[in-house]
Amino acid sequence: MYKFFQEQLDSKINNHNLRTLTEYCPIDAVRVKKDDKEYLMMASNNYLGLTFDQRVINEAIKGAQQYGTGSGGSRLVSGTFPLFTELEKELAKFKNTEKALVFNTGYMANVGTISAIADKNTIIFSDELNHASIIDGCRLSKATIKAYSHCDVEELKFLLKQVDRNARKLIVTDGVFSMDGDIAPLDRLYELSREYHALLMVDDAHATGTIGNGHGTAAYYGLEKDVDIQLGTLSKSLGAVGGYVAANSTIIDYLVNMSRSFIFSTALSSADIGAALAALQIIESDSSVLRRLQDNVNYMADCLNSMGIYATNETPIFPILIGSNEDTLAVSNHLYNAGIIGTAIRPPTVPVGESRIRLTVTAAHNREQIDYVCQTLSKAIKELNCEGTI
Ligand code: PMP
């Protein structure tokens, strides 16, 4: 088997697709250090820059001091501390649902939710660009999977029409697509879900804190009370680690009983729960954070557009489509040498031939930094003679 592993690694090297871990030491929400050199982080999902917010840090420390470091067991056996109940109440309020349930990661929330609510007699309709954790949840459920072209509501309708009207059905989509930054047409998906009696689930990993006044995709469309399942992560805008599902009581009670990634894993640490609670509180009470993010998104989109790189200003994710792995790595290295981290995103994270630099801006960046990133990127694309589009 070692021979097989080595062949696979060699093949990745030959295709410019090898992944390696790089050690960086964070300085603040947007700067990291490596070998005494400072880099600007343009590849994180820390959209609101809350990981270094003193209010969030204080609540993480308080959580650990009050309840200890590890939780010591799974939620159902030994780990439901009062902080969990408080966070779930706040998340439900935030997402305008009856209840919420915290998982250990967004990945585990997707895998554990989809594999619990769908079985071999269920048909899942899934956007082709949905996140890997949705795809893995679908596979684990053993349901029939029908992937529809990205955001193609007409194709989804065509697929829905073809299946048995009485079959159990789930429509699942990213709210803000992780590698493209566009927003799912949730209003149209909702209409179809009611017309064809399908459950509707949205993954708000990148939408929470960024759209719908920070409340996510359902809020963006005014559908908080209508979407069946709003899933998300504590690990991006909320500056902690963890995942959650917000839904009605029936669905949450069902997941507590049926979701294996929830049942069979040790609960999160109280430090993470404390941090997430503080972050939620900030989103609700301190509008300056959301405003700073939106200002930076607008500024970065204008900056890129003025340099001939097409960008929209809807979300903080700016995919700079390059094409080949080799060219994308070259642009990424150019940025790196100039002190900017703009990671090369390659297959299987994105389709073959659509490798890209995925730049993200946060509330914690300043205009000078954004100017520098855009100018350096423009120079890299010109010098390396590769196309940069969105
Ligand atoms: N869903 C989407 C759309 C994501 O992009 C991610 C993380 N990249 C996840 C779920 C998983 O969340 P977490 O990182 O908390 O496991």
pLDDT tens sequence across 219-273: 999 999 999 999 999 999 999 999 999 999 999 999 999 999 999 999 999 999 9
From 223, 246, 4, select the one nearest 109 (Cα to Cα). 246
Cα 108 to ligand 1 centre (Å): 9
Average pLDDT rounded to a whole number, residues 141-151: 98
Pocket test for ligand 1, best of 108, 111, 133, 201 (most atoms within 8 A of CB): 133
Q: What amino acid positions are annotated as catalytic residues?
A: 178, 206, 236
Write down the architecture of domain 54-285 according to CATH.
3-Layer(aba) Sandwich (3.40)
Give the per-residue pLDDT at 390: 47
Give the per-residue pLDDT at 388: 57
Q: Which atom of ligand 1 is nearest to the CA of 243?
A: 15
The pLDDT > 90 percentage for the chain reads 94
Cis check for the bond before 348: say yes or no (omega within 30 of 0).
Answer: yes
Give the per-residue pLDDT at 387: 60
Question: Structural domain boundaries of the chain?
Answer: 16-45+287-384, 54-285
Q: Which atom of ligand 1 is nearest to the CA of 242?
A: 15
Average pLDDT rounded to a whole number, residues 138-165: 97
- Tell me the per-residue pLDDT of 348-366, one tens digit each, with 9 for 90 and over: 999 999 999 999 999 999 9
Specify the residue with its C-alpha closest to ligand 1, atom 8: 178
Pocket test for ligand 1, best of 47, 91, 107 (most atoms within 8 A of CB): 107
Residue 182 confidence (pLDDT) above 70: yes
Q: Which CATH class is domain 16-45+287-384?
A: alpha beta
Give the per-residue pLDDT at 389: 55
Cα–Cα distance for residue pair 380/374, rounded to 1 Å = 10
Cα 131 to ligand 1 centre (Å): 7
- Cβ contact 58:372 at 8 Å: no
Q: Which atom of ligand 1 is nearest to the CA of 130?
A: 3
106 lines ligand 1 (CB under 6 A): yes
233 lines ligand 1 (CB under 6 A): yes
Measured CA to CA in angstroms, residue 216 lies from 12, 134, 268 at distances of: 36, 18, 23
Residue 69 confidence (pLDDT) above 90: yes
> In sequence order, what DSSP letters do the residues of 163-211 get, joined into one string?
S-TTSEEEEEEESB-TTT--B--HHHHHHHHHHTT-EEEEE-TTTBTTS
Domains 16-45+287-384 and 54-285 share a fold: no
